[in-house]
Amino acid sequence: MTTAGKVIKCKAAVLWEINQPLSIEEIEVAAPKANEVRIKIAATGICRSDDHVISGTLTYKLPVILGHEAAGIVESIGEGVTSVKPGDKVIPLFNPQCKKCNVCKHPNGNLCTSNDLTCNTGTLKDGTSRFTCRGKTIHHFLGISTFSEYTVVDEVSVVKIDSSSPLEKVCLVGCGFSTGYGSAVKVAKVTPGSTCVVFGLGGVGLSTIIGCKSAGASRIIGVDINKDKFAKAKEVGATECISPLDYKKPIQDVLVEMTNDGIDFSFEVIGNLETMTAALLSCNKAFGVCVIVGVPPNVSNLSINPMLLLTGRTWKGAIFGGFKSKDEVPKLVSDILAKKFKLDPLITHASTLDKINEGFDMLRSGKSIRTVLTL
Ligand code: PAD
Ligand code: ZN
């Protein structure tokens, strides 16, 4: 019996209020309208950005179904959809690519104007939601909401991937892996023989290290206050790891001394204003490039002396590793199928939607890198 055109009842994790556990609920998912796609989610990772919404660090419309790092199979499509069909394996794109806006047409930028990170509508592009629960409308998160057995997305927010893809692994291409890897190879443009430092050794930071290594960096220093993260960082390519807690002087001074003034590329992959400043100060004053990857707390500002940039440093940042998502995600998946990179070290735990709150607890306590939920 086909479900196309009908409302689907299924399980989802709903955030009703900030600082509350997610609630596993039965929800109704409406059929896709024109230019929309309904997806059966197969696997979804837990990323720190979801937790930023739970903790209120990142403000978003509530109630909401979070989740933005996933892979699934198309269940049905609305009128006018041409790029995917039912049965296709796909990755939902939290940073869409419409290919029509000024950013999509520009060779460099990737923050498509239909993204919902900066617009914060909590709906699909037509301004409405496809989710209801206990008679209430539930918001979409970044246009994709993957902590649900079924979700509806705009066609600009989904891309087909190779039919042989293992969905419980390639879901990480939907956020963490691509963000970290792209921050190194695409945003910073790490060069062979260079020295890099990565602040924060979670799933995104480790992926940044993978990117630095594949770009040929000869020295990659990992920085984290949790030393339990060091072994894995070295496994994926860090040449040494240090904790700021082991030093009396500021970590940037330690790094400058360690590298004889010469850090070429620094990355902040935590989302903390202090480490953002440390990352900037640790890169070489004349040619260093510092990339902000971590999502900073809402409504906070950094004050820096412009002299730090006048001397020649470059300070930049990007969402989703600077990748234009529809173009690049299928290629990254193919690279993974071709064994160019291994995602296995990043996936420390496998679980199910019912246990999603335990998955968040493990991320908060630093026990997990990525927990992948299969649905
Ligand atoms: P995570 O929580 O798994 O990793 C963060 C790491 O930072 C942990 O290992 C912590 O121990 C470490 N840490 C915390 N505080 C400090 C400190 N003061 N000094 C040194 N180390 C510290 O998170 P994640 O890897 O899932 O995500 C990292 C950040 O990247 C987070 O802010 C997330 O929101 C952001 C992100 N950005 C994008 C994007 O598109 N730019 C995408 C996905 C995630
Ligand atoms: Zn993420």
Distance CA 69, CA 372 (A): 9
pLDDT tens track for 308-360: 999 999 999 999 999 999 999 999 999 999 999 999 999 999 999 999 999 99
pLDDT tens track for 192-213: 999 999 999 999 999 999 999 9
Pocket of ligand 1 (CB under 6 A): 47-49, 52, 175-176, 179, 199-205, 223-226, 229, 244, 269-272, 275, 293-295, 319-320, 363, 366
Ligand 2 centroid–CA 261 distance in Å is 33
Share of residues in the chain with pLDDT > 70 (%)? 100
Ligand nearest to the CA of 48: 1
Ligand 1 centroid–CA 363 distance in Å is 10
Q: Does the structure show a pLDDT above 80 at 217? A: yes
pLDDT at residue 2, as a whole number: 87
> String of b and e for 23-38 (b: at least 16 CB within 10 Å)?
ebbebbbbbbbebbbb
pLDDT at residue 255, as a whole number: 97
3-state secondary structure at position 198: strand
Ligand nearest to the CA of 171: 2
Cis status of the peptide bond prior to 21, with omega within 30 of 0:
no
Ligand 1 centroid–CA 202 distance in Å is 6
> Which ligand 1 atom is at minimum distance from the Cα of 364?
2
> Which ligand 1 atom is at minimum distance from the Cα of 368?
3
pLDDT at residue 261, as a whole number: 82
Closest residue by Cα to residue 90 from 329, 346, 324, 319: 329
Average pLDDT over the chain reads: 96
> Which ligand 1 atom is at minimum distance from the Cα of 318?
41
Distance CA 105, CA 362 (A): 40
Q: Does the structure show a pLDDT above 70 at 27? A: yes
Ligand 2 centroid–CA 298 distance in Å is 16
Q: Probe ligand 1: pick from 270, 272, 348, max atoms within 8 Å of CB?
A: 270
Q: Domains in the chain, start-ordered, CATH in brackets?
A: 177-296+306-321 (3.40.50.720), 343-375 (no CATH)
Ligand 2 centroid–CA 68 distance in Å is 6
Whole-model pTM: value is 0.96
> Which ligand 1 atom is at minimum distance from the Cα of 58?
34
Q: Does the structure show a pLDDT above 90 at 276? A: yes
Average pLDDT score over residue span 153-172: 98
Tokens of 129: 């939601």
Average pLDDT score over residue span 270-287: 96
**What band does 278 get if pLDDT is binned at 50, 70 and 90?**
very high
Q: Probe ligand 1: pick from 49, 210, 361, max atoms within 8 Å of CB?
A: 49
Average pLDDT score over residue span 244-265: 95
Please give the positions annotated as active site.
47, 49, 52, 68, 175
Distance CA 276, CA 278 (A): 5
Average pLDDT score over residue span 232-256: 97
Ligand nearest to the CA of 323: 1
pLDDT at residue 1, as a whole number: 66
User: What are the Cα distances from residue 349, in Å, to 5, 46, 236, 274, 363?
Assistant: 36, 10, 17, 30, 10
Distance CA 68, CA 48 (A): 11
Ion ligand 2 nearby residues (CB, 5 A): 47, 49, 175
Ligand 2 centroid–CA 319 distance in Å is 10
> String of b and e for 95-111 (b: at least 16 CB within 10 Å)?
bbbbeebebbeeeebbb
pLDDT at residue 52, as a whole number: 94
